[in-house]
Amino acid sequence: MKAIRAAIYSQLISDTALISELGGATAVYYSVAPQGTALPVVIFFNAGGGPENQYPGDLTTERYLIKGVSNTLDEALDIDGAIQAAMHKQTLTVAGFTNIWTRRTGDVSLTENSDDGSLIRHEGAYYRIRVDA
């Protein structure tokens, strides 16, 4: 849902502790960072969800993966901690909806090799966002 995606982006870029972890940059991207973007960054994307169809209203739960991406494990973990503080149990402003709850529901940790042979660390979590209109 576009409104939830916009709310997550707004929540992340307005969090001063997170932006500090990113070296003062609003390096927050949906789906993928532009090629050549310097690390660290935050990447988030929709990982499922949709209407709950429990009653005639617009109750919807979306699941997003939000992660810090860095060249070092410690930095990626610090970014993940800032993401958790900005998102877990926080109220998002979702246009046209009321945010019922936002919860961190599962951790994600992975490492990849870059083209130059260095390691890229990904630390983050899944977040469930429930809204109703």
Kindly list the domain boundaries of the chain, sorted by start residue.
Answer: 2-132
pTM over 0.85: yes
pLDDT tens for each residue of 15-54: 999 999 999 989 999 999 999 999 999 999 999 999 998 8
Listing from the earlier edge strand, what are the strands of the sheet with 41-51? 28-30, 41-51, 60-70, 119-132, 98-113
Q: Please state which architecture CATH assigns to domain 2-132.
A: 2-Layer Sandwich (3.30)
% of the chain at pLDDT higher than 70: 100
Cα distances (angstroms) measured from residue 44 to each of 4, 8, 47, 56, 125: 12, 9, 9, 30, 10
Q: How high does pLDDT run on average in the chain?
A: 96
| Apex 40 CA angle, 38 and 46, nearest 5 | 105
For the cut 90, the answer to whether the pLDDT of residue 57 exceeds it is: no
Average pLDDT rounded to a whole number, residues 100-117:
95
